[in-house]
Structures are given as structure tokens and as C-alpha cells.
């Protein structure tokens, strides 16, 4: 599992990073101030030798399981879970090895842990695990 997380509690965001072997994902900013009703962007920097990486975003509420939000690909449109199609948008820049998640019209209920990952890490509600690590 290769990911970094942001914990959003009311109006502040804190994070920590996990780096494993030849691939890693990090968050470049430790604290991000967010304002309800405004857009905010979370950013990941990643390293991988894969020339066509997939970048995944997950949301985890307190005491809950991580929920798949969306996947961005170098080619193609990727995939976005239905409940995140309205206010959430991700960008993947393979050249800069960066990815961003923008949340429009930020709401208090958006407070959660947001994971950025290079590999699929959770199951959907109706299938077997996407990948065994």
C-alpha cells in the first residue's frame, strides 16, 4: 500500500507520508487552511518507474473504511465513483509526477482522511479485492 493521507478537521488539514521501496507518494504541504464553501486542492507528488501510472484517490470518514473516489490514468478518462462526480475532480501530470484532487464548494461533511495511492488499495462494494499486496 503506497499512499499519503490528509486529515481534514473543520478548517485545517494535517498529513503524514508513507514511502515504500521503489514507489512512493508524498504530500508536499503539511498544513492547508480550508474555507467552507470555497474550492480546495490537495496535491500528491509520486515516484514510480511505471511510464503509465494509475493514480487513485480514497476518502475515509472517522471510524469508517476507505471509499474509492476516483482513478486517473495517463491515457483515457479514468473512473469516478457516482457520489464524487459532482464536486470532485482530479488531475494527473505524469511528467511532473504530481496529482491533484480539487473539491468544489467545500462542506463540513467533506472532513475526512483523503488517500492518494499508486495502486488500488480497497475493494468496491460488490467485488473481490482489486489487488492483493
- Residue 42 exposed, middle or buried by CB count within 10 Å (0-12, 13-18, 19+): buried
State residue 121's pLDDT score.
Answer: 77
Within a domain: 63: yes
Secondary structure (DSSP) of 85-111: TTTEEEEEETTTTEEEEEESS--GGG-
**Is residue 124 included in any domain, yes or no?**
no
Total-model pTM: 0.72
Does 17 reside within a domain? yes
Low-confidence residues of the chain: pLDDT under 50:
1-20, 125-133
What's the CATH code of the domain at 106? 2.60.40.10
- Cα distance between the two ends of the chain: 7
Whether 93 maps to a domain, the answer reads yes
Number of domains in the chain: 1
The boundaries of the domain holding residue 65 are: 3-117
Q: What is the pLDDT of residues 84-100, one digit of tens each?
A: 999 999 999 989 999 99
With respect to residue 87, please indicate whether it lies within any of the assigned structural domains: yes
Amino acid at each position: 500500500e503506497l499512499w499519503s493521507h490528509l486529515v481534514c478537521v473543520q478548517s485545517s488539514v494535517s498529513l503524514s507520508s508513507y514511502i515504500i521501496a521503489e514507489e512512493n507518494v508524498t504530500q508536499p504541504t503539511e498544513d492547508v487552511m480550508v474555507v467552507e464553501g470555497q474550492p480546495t486542492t490537495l496535491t500528491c507528488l509520486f515516484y514510480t518507474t511505471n511510464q503509465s501510472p494509475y493514480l487513485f484517490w480514497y476518502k475515509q470518514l472517522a471510524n469508517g473504511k476507505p471509499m474509492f473516489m476516483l482513478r486517473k490514468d495517463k491515457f483515457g478518462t479514468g473512473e469516478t465513483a457516482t457520489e464524487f462526480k459532482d464536486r470532485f475532480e482530479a488531475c494527473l501530470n505524469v511528467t511532473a509526477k504530481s496529482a491533484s484532487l480539487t473539491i468544489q464548494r467545500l462542506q463540513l461533511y467533506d472532513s475526512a482522511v483523503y488517500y492518494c495511492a499508486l495502486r488500488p488499495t480497497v475493494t468496491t462494494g460488490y467485488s473481490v479485492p482489486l489487488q492483493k499486496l
